[in-house]
Chain A
Amino acid sequence: GNSVTQMEGPVTLSEEAFLTINCTYTATGYPSLFWYVQYPGEGLQLLLKATKADDKGSNKGFEATYRKETTSFHLEKGSVQVSDSAVYFCALITGGGADGLTFGKGTHLIIQP
C-alpha cells in the first residue's frame, strides 16, 4: 500500500531562517505528490504539487522537488515568516485518485519573531 513519512514536529525556527521539512513515500504505481498547509483554525489548503520525477512545485516562496530515486518530496523555504506558522502535510495520490490521498502525520511549524 501507499504510505508517507514526514518529520515530526513541532519544528521551531526564528524568522528568516531556512526551512526544510522532510517527506519520503512508498507507493504502488507512479504517484502525484502534494504539500498541504493548515493554518490555525482553518481547513486544508493545497500549497504545491508535482506530478512526475524532477518536477519542482513552488508557491509562496516554498519549493519541493519530486525525487523518484530517493522517493522524497522535501519542502523548503529560504526565509520563513511568522505567518508561515501552521501544520504542513505531505501527501500522495495514485491510480487516478481511486483510494484518495494518503497523508503523512503532519509537521507543526512554529516561527518565532
Chain B
Amino acid sequence: DADVTQTPRNRITKTGKRIMLECSQTKGHDRMYWYRQDPGLGLRLIYYSFDVKDINKGEISDGYSVSRQAQAKFSLSLESAIPNQTALYFCATSVNRGSMTEAFFGQGTRLTVV
C-alpha cells in the first residue's frame, strides 16, 4: 500500500461545481502539503499544514481551501471550479531526519474542469 494516498486519481468536473480532493497518509508525519503541477511551470505550493490546528497559504491559494481533519488526512477543495484549475494535483508529507528533510508524494490526482 502507498504511504500517501490520493483519491480520486482522475476527475472530470464542470465549471462552477464544488469538488474535494482527498489525501491520507500512513507515515505519521505532521507536515502535509498540496501542490499543483502545470506543464512548463513545475510544481507550485497551494496550502500546507504543520498539524491539525495549523493551516497556511502557499504560493497559489486563491480559489482553493483545505481541511486537516486529522493528522493523517488533508483535503483540498475547489469551491467553484474553473477551467484554469485543470491540472495534476499532488499531496505530500515531510519529516525532518537530523539535518535532512525528506518529502513523500502521493500518486497525483488529474483534475479536468470543463
Residues in A lying within 8 Å of B, measured CB to CB: 4, 8, 32, 34, 36, 42-46, 49, 51-52, 89, 91, 93, 96-101, 103-106
User: A89 touching B107 by the CB < 8 A rule?
Assistant: no
User: B105 touching A100 by the CB < 8 A rule?
Assistant: no
**Contacts beyond the supplied A42-B107, A105-B41: 9 A-B pairs with Cβ under 8 Å:** A32-B100, A43-B107, A44-B90, A89-B42, A93-B94, A97-B103, A100-B33, A100-B58, A103-B43
User: B101 touching A96 by the CB < 8 A rule?
Assistant: yes
Residues in B lying within 8 Å of A, measured CB to CB: 31, 33, 35, 40-45, 48, 50, 58, 90, 92, 94-96, 99-108
Q: Evaluate whether A93 and B103 lie within 8 angstroms (CB atoms) in the complex, with A43-B90, A44-B90 already known.
A: yes
Q: Classify the secondary structure of B's interface with A.
A: strand
User: A101 touching B107 by the CB < 8 A rule?
Assistant: no
User: A51 touching B106 by the CB < 8 A rule?
Assistant: no
Name which residue of chain A comes closest to B96, CB basis: A96
User: A43 touching B108 by the CB < 8 A rule?
Assistant: yes
User: A101 touching B106 by the CB < 8 A rule?
Assistant: no
Query: What are 15 inter-chain pairs, A to B, with CB distance below 8 A?
Result: A32-B100, A36-B105, A43-B106, A44-B90, A46-B104, A49-B100, A89-B42, A93-B101, A100-B33, A100-B45, A100-B48, A101-B43, A101-B103, A103-B43, A105-B40
- Nearest-neighbour CB distance to chain B for A22, whole angstroms, equals 15
User: B43 touching A43 by the CB < 8 A rule?
Assistant: no
